Amino acid sequence: MGGGGFMMEQSSPLDDFLLSLSAPSSPRVCFIPTPTGDSDRVIAAFFEAFSRRDCEPSCLRLFGAPECPAQYLASQDVIYVSGGNTANALALWRLHGVDRALREAWERGAVLGGVSAGANCWFECSITDSFGRQLDALRDGLGLLPGSFCPHYDGEELRRPVYRHLVDQGLPPGYAADDGAALHFVGAKLREVVASLPGARAYRVEPGSETPLEARTL
Least trusted range by pLDDT, from 54-68, 96-110, 182-196: 54-68
- Give yes or no: 165 in active site: no
The tally of domains found in the chain comes to: 1
Residues in CB range of 33: below 8 A, 6 or more apart: 39, 42, 43, 46, 59, 61, 82, 84
> For residue 74, what are the domain limits?
5-217
Q: Classify each residue of 97-117 as buried b or exposed e, where b means 16 or more C-beta atoms within 10 Å of its C-beta.
A: ebbebbeebbeeebbbbbbbb
Contact 120, 128 (CB under 8 A): yes
Percentage with pLDDT > 70 across the chain: 99
Using only C-alpha atoms, the chain has a radius of gyration, in whole angstroms, of 16
At residue 8, the pLDDT reads 87
For 110-139, what is each residue's pLDDT tens digit? 999 999 999 999 999 999 999 988 999 999
- Give yes or no: 96 in active site: no
This prediction has a pTM of 0.95
At residue 116, the pLDDT reads 98
Q: Is the pLDDT of residue 98 over 90?
A: yes
Q: Is the pLDDT of residue 140 over 90?
A: yes
Minimal CA–CA distance to 175: which of 215, 218, 132, 130?
215
At residue 66, the pLDDT reads 67
At residue 70, the pLDDT reads 87
- Paired with 217 in beta bridges are 195
Percentage with pLDDT > 90 across the chain: 92
Least trusted range by pLDDT, from 1-15, 33-47, 64-78, 194-208: 64-78
Q: Which of 12, 82, 152, 196 is catalytic?
A: 152
Q: Which of 116, 126, 148, 196 is catalytic?
A: 116
For range 137-143, the mean pLDDT: 98
Return the CATH number at 24.
3.40.50.880
Mean model confidence pLDDT for the chain: 96
- Helix ranges (DSSP H) in the chain: 13-20, 40-50, 69-73, 86-96, 98-107, 117-120, 159-168
